[in-house]
Amino acid sequence: MCHSRISALASARPPAPTGAGGGLLPARDLAAAWFLVVLVAVPAWVLTAGQARGMGVGPGTMGMALPLFLLLWVTMTAAMMLPSMAPVAITWVRGIGRRSSGWTRTVRTVEFVGGYLLVWTAFGLLAYAALALTGGLLDDRPTAGRWIGAVAFLLAGLYQLGPLKNVCLRHCRDPMGHLVRYAGFRSPARDLRVGVHHGAYCVGCCAGLMTVLVPLGVMNVAAMAGLAVVVFVEKLWSRGPLLARGVGIAFLVLAVLAPFQDWLLPGLRATMDGM
């Protein structure tokens, strides 16, 4: 992207924070911003872990009504995704702070965060439908869990190795590039649109990884923590795309093993154990 275009849009957004494709924030601002990320992510993890401890790991929706599931899903999303999307969020919110103040700044920030979570909530509806479907299948045929797990790992592996994953990951690894693009967005609801746009790419980047929560258990805290680390490293490490492909290959191996190794399917095993 040419230097002249970046300069022309400099007043619309500050430099991107350290990360793949980004610039640098002042050290003090960067430290304060990451402190806020931790301040939000840690309570989200505590709430998620507390709820999971009370529910355990089970198949399907575990009897959760849709509103409760979406509430837990959004909390889990905040815990898992906030660290990896922080470079974009920090930079955009700082830009909001430079160009507005008071309630206007608050409303714009809420719009941005709300747009991001709105996309993940929509994805949560799909996740709920998938879990309800698998739960129904297991009620009829408990042994089908082995093949459900194999299919889930297979789809996750193929997605990790596919072109859509590559496109979305490239977007998420280039904060400077898409912040310049966002700077060209116009009102109304500009910040909401930015949040939705970035959230859509984030969902596209993580959809395969989230699929494995079907066999691993949607409330499996260890699985969530492992996936959060993968998401973070994929987006921010210089060799993140290589890791994404390696994880994809690992999922394909698990797809082959799943029909014969029930321990790989804690999120489907409870019904099979009852047989």
What is the rounded distance in angstroms from the CA atom of residue 75 to the CA atom of residue 154? Answer: 27
Tokens of 267: 């999120």
Domain, as residue range, for 239: 25-273
In a domain, 11, yes or no: no
In a domain, 16, yes or no: no
pLDDT value at residue 56: 64
pLDDT value at residue 246: 96
Mean pLDDT of 220-234: 91
pLDDT value at residue 200: 93
Reported pTM: 0.79
Other beta carbons within 10 Å of 212: 24
Mean pLDDT of 193-206: 90
In a domain, 94, yes or no: yes
Residue indicated by tokens 């898409």: 178
In a domain, 127, yes or no: yes
Residue 170 has pLDDT above 70, yes or no: yes
Looking at the 3D structure of the chain, how many domains does it have? Answer: 1
In a domain, 20, yes or no: no
Average pLDDT, the chain: 80
Residue 205 has pLDDT above 60, yes or no: yes
In a domain, 93, yes or no: yes
Residues 6+ apart with CB under 8 A from 150: 255, 256, 258, 259
Cβ atoms 42, 111 nearer than 8 A = no
In a domain, 39, yes or no: yes
Tokens of 112: 């941005």
The listed range with the strongest mean pLDDT (16-25, 107-116, 155-164, 232-241) is 155-164
- Which of residues 89 and 264 earns the better pLDDT score? 264
In a domain, 7, yes or no: no
